């Protein structure tokens, strides 16, 4: 029995596609007034922006993808699955509470920060100590992914404070966060044996 269903591969694979396609199309609709190097994704989803509905729909779809993937990723530790699902909920709320056309938004910024934190922590929370676990659920790769996301966040904060390449930094971090679930799911499908056995044992113990 597979520890992760095949449909989780579809949901995790659609996440980065929706995100990247969303900002690409919304940026095109915005035209030359938008600078993807210095301006964030939130600008594309702001009220009144030409690509508002495109970027908002992409963020909403991203949230749904994370929720579906968390549901199907039975091989991961429950805390990690909950963090991934929480990141999905945060993405949905970010889509529902867009930034204003000018100025900042405490609610929008807070939701984005919570979502980023959950998506940065879920790799280490989902990792298993079993050395036979799939590559994506081993502690070392999971920690590397979390540290990479953390480093990207620091870079983003530096760039946004100096009015530099904050758009590039944000896109790099969000890309890593959207791709990592796909990496984990693919590794589980490639090597499902030991984790599938553990999952069956855990379900049997829970049923007692």
Lowest mean pLDDT among 82-86, 114-118, 142-146, 158-162: 158-162
Tokens coding 137: 């659920």
Query: pLDDT of 12-61, one tens digit each?
Result: 999 999 999 999 999 999 998 899 999 989 889 888 889 899 999 999 99
Report the pLDDT averaged over residues 86-98. Answer: 93
pLDDT computed for residue 203 by the predictor: 46
pLDDT computed for residue 193 by the predictor: 53
Q: Kindly write down the DSSP assignment for every residue of 61-91, as one continuous string.
A: HHHHHHHHHHHH-TTS-HHHHHHHHHHHHHH
3-state secondary structure of 169: helix
Handedness of CA 142, 129, 13, 19 (dihedral sign): negative
Report the pLDDT averaged over residues 141-146. Answer: 97
Residue 191 phi, psi dihedral angles, 5° rounding: -140, 75
pLDDT computed for residue 108 by the predictor: 82
pTM for this model (two decimals): 0.87
**Domain assignments of the chain as residue spans, ordered by start:** 7-206
pLDDT band with cut points at 50, 70 and 90 for residue 192: low
pLDDT computed for residue 194 by the predictor: 52
């Amino acid at each position: 029995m597979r520890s992760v269903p095949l449909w989780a591969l579809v949901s995790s694979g659609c996440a980065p596609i929706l995100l990247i396609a969303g900002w690409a199309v919304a940026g095109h609709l915005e035209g030359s007034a938008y600078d993807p190097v210095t301006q964030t994704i939130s600008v594309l989803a702001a009220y009144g922006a030409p690509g508002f509905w495109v970027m908002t729909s992409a963020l909403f779809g991203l949230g749904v993808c994370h929720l579906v993937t968390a549901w199907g990723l039975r091989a991961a530790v429950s805390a990690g699955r909950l963090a991934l699902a929480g990141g999905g909920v945060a993405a949905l709320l970010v889509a529902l509470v867009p930034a204003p056309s000018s100025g900042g938004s405490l609610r929008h910024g807070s939701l984005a920060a919570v979502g980023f934190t959950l998506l940065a922590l879920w790799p280490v929370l989902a990792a298993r100590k079993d050395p036979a676990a799939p590559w994506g659920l081993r502690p070392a790769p999971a920690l590397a992914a979390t540290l990479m996301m953390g480093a990207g966040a620091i870079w983003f904060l530096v760039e946004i404070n100096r009015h530099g390449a904050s758009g590039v930094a944000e896109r790099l971090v969000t890309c890593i966060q959207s791709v990592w679930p796909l990496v984990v799911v693919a590794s589980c499908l490639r090597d499902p044996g030991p984790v599938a056995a553990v999952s069956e044992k855990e379900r049997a113990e829970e049923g007692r």
